[in-house]
Chain A
Amino acid sequence: MLEVKKVGIISCSGEECAGGGISRLAARHVLESTRPGRTVTICLPLFLAGGEEERYFARTFPTITVDGCEKRCAFRATEKLSGHVTKALTVSDILGAESAAAPSFSQRQLNPELERKIDTVSTALTEAVDEIMGKPAAAEHLLKPTVPPAGMRLL
């Protein structure tokens, strides 16, 4: 049995809308600044391409998906390939459909308005991490590790 030590964040890599870019930068902000050491990310394209370490992690540890839009690719992929998603966030729910559906942006185009939106999503994500990490690990909720793939290194 494992105690919950880390939470995996799986962000949309979206190119279809601004929500994708916001979710990526918000996820990274949580990983680097608000909850470093307690969160890890899973590379979604690698996860989809068959990365066994990524799939093992998502099967074994709690995961939060952050999707850019209502297509919810990150959530659907995680449910399909690794099982239960502990918490699912969607930028369009947090910021509204209009903000999420705006055209995708390059980092050259970051402005105070986009930074504010990224902050809002990263705050929601940080709260979701705390909600999972803060819960005492009751015996019946302790995680059962699956067998790691050959040669994999535990995170």
Chain B
Amino acid sequence: MKHWGILPCNGLDKPVGQLAREIALNLAQDQSKTLACPVLLHSAPSVYAKTKEETQWVVLDGCNTRCASKLAAEMGFSVGKKINVTKLVEKENLNLGHSLRLGPEELALAQRSAAELAAALPSTRTEGEEEAAVVRDEKAAGETDLDFPASLTYTEFRQDKFRFRVPEGEFFFNENDCWVWVRGTRARVGVSDYVQQSLSDILFFSPPEVGAEVEQFGVLGTLESSKAVFEVIAPVAGRVLRVNEELEGSPERVNENPYEQGWIAEVELTDWEADRELLLDAQQYLTYLKNKVADFHV
């Protein structure tokens, strides 16, 4: 089990930034979690290089600019939980004013939020909560199929002996080479051709837990080949409704076609509009992928 770390936004120009910082400090001090300074992380990423690999991150954004989320994505952090403090404040119907000096009500909210957040982290689930999660998993498994297209059209390019396909249409990608196809409040997620080409023959698939909540840039299962283990980085936040059970017996389906029979999971979306802002459309991903492949082959 990975440790939990905290990456807050800490913005100075808005009280929500201060509140994000306060929640982070409460969580770090009261719950013994690692706290990352976003500025130091940006200035000297090597300081957190070791921690990064061993840590699943709670990301605390102050405002809707979501700098902490962007930084986590840029640094390749595995995100397990995200909090938007602006939304938290709205939910609490709290008026923060303009000062960074937080009042008793705000300090109490920070303490309470940190405690609730700590309790919600998977490693601290009680037995009863685990049972409730299993019930939710079973319910989720019974939900209807997503209306995914029966066949897809691809744009292709070649580099040396490798052929890379990017599906046309309503696919979006993160820079971790994972895709999402969205219909309403549900989505299907998978990895791109780049992943299957890089891994070569995929031997094992460890699926995410059905019913589990995943954050955008959180881990949605792993794929393992003789070369490496690849963590599937969720392009969207949501609750896992289904996993591709075929992959457990036949993980090579990802090599055959990662966009069709090699899909990974389906999720019920939490906030597609917000997630979309941090994703590339198919054309943008094609450009990104060409550059990445060219750099890799230099």
- If A44-B39, A51-B65, A77-B42 touch, whether A27 touches B71 (CB-CB below 8 Å) is no
Question: Shortest Cβ distance from B33 into chain A, in angstroms?
Answer: 12
Q: Smallest Cβ distance from A126 to chain B, in angstroms?
A: 17
| A13 partner, pick from B10, B25, B65, beta carbons under 8 A | B10
From B98-106, B156-164, B213-221, B243-251, the one touching the partner chain is B98-106
> For chain B, which range describes its interface: under 10, 10 to 19, 20 to 34, or 35 or more residues?
35 or more
Closest to A46 in B: B67
Say how far B16's CB is from chain A's closest CB, in angstroms. Answer: 11
- Shortest CB distance A19–B (Å): 11
Chain B residue nearest to A107 (CB atoms) is: B102
Interface residues of B in 8-25 (CB under 8 A from A): 8-14, 17-18, 21-22, 24-25
B35: CB under 8 A from chain A?
Answer: yes
Contacts of B21 on A, CB cut-off 8 Å? 13, 15, 24
Is A106's beta carbon under 8 Å from chain B? Answer: yes
Q: Is B44 an interface residue (CB 8 A)?
A: yes
Number of residue pairs spanning A and B whose beta carbons lie under 8 angstroms apart? 113
How many Å lie between the Cα of A62 and that of B187 in the bound state? 48
Q: How far is the CA of A42 from the CA of B17 in the complex (A)?
A: 12
A73:B40 contact, CB within 8 angstroms: yes
Kindly state the interface size class of chain A when it binds its partner.
20 to 34
* Cross-chain contact A106 with B38 (CB below 8 angstroms): no
- Shortest distance from the beta carbon of A26 to any chain B beta carbon, whole Å: 11
Whether A71 pairs with B11 at a CB distance below 8 angstroms is no
Which partner residue on chain B sits nearest A72 by CB separation?
B43
- Quick one: which of A5-40 are within 8 Å of B by CB? 11-16, 20, 24-25, 27-28, 32
Tell me which residues across on chain B come within 8 A of A74, comparing CB atoms: 39
A-chain residues with CB within 8 Å of residue B192 when the two chains form the complex:
none
In contact, A24 and B24 (Cβ under 8 angstroms):
no
A106 nearest in chain B by CB position: B25
Cβ-based interface call for A45 (8 A): yes
User: Shortest beta-carbon distance, A21 to chain B, in Å?
Assistant: 8
Give every chain B residue within 8 A of A11 (Cβ-Cβ).
12
Q: Which residue of A lies closest to B17 (CB)?
A: A43
In whole angstroms, how far apart are the Cα atoms of A34 and B277 in the complex? 39
A107 touches B13 (CB 8 A): no
Q: Tell me the nearest residue of chain B to A108, going by C-beta.
A: B107
Closest residue on chain B to residue A9 by CB atoms: B12
Report the Cα distance A50→B42, complex, angstroms: 12
Q: Is the CB of A108 within 8 A of B13?
A: no
Evaluate contact between B35 and A106: CB separation under 8 angstroms.
Answer: no
- The answer to whether B38 and A13 have CB atoms under 8 Å apart is yes
Task: Tell me whether B68 is interfacial, beta carbon within 8 Å.
Answer: yes
B196 at the A interface (CB under 8 A): no
Docked pose: A51 CA to B65 CA in angstroms: 9
Contact status A107-B22, CB under 8 Å: yes
Determine whether the beta carbon of A24 is less than 8 Å from that of B100: yes
**Are the CB atoms of A13 and B39 closer together than 8 Å?**
yes
Query: How far apart are the CA atoms of A14 and B28 in the complex, in Å?
Result: 14
Residues of B within 8 A of A13 (CB): 10-12, 21, 37-39
Interface presence of A92 (CB below 8 A) = no
The reply to whether the CB of B26 lies closer than 8 angstroms to some CB of chain A is yes
- Of B12, B13, B40, B68, which contacts A16 at CB under 8 A? B40
Q: B residues within 8 A CB of A44?
A: 10-12, 39
Let me know if B36 is at the binding interface, CB within 8 A.
Answer: yes
- Asked if B32 is at the interface (CB within 8 A of a chain A CB), the reply is no
A residues in contact (CB < 8 Å) with B: 11-16, 20, 24-25, 27-28, 32, 41-46, 48-51, 71, 73-74, 76-77, 104-108
Q: Ordered nearest first, which 9 A-B pairs have the shortest CB separation?
A: A13-B10, A15-B37, A43-B13, A28-B100, A49-B67, A106-B25, A45-B67, A43-B11, A73-B39
Can you list 5 pairs linking A and B with CB atoms under 8 Å apart? A12-B39, A15-B40, A20-B37, A73-B44, A108-B26
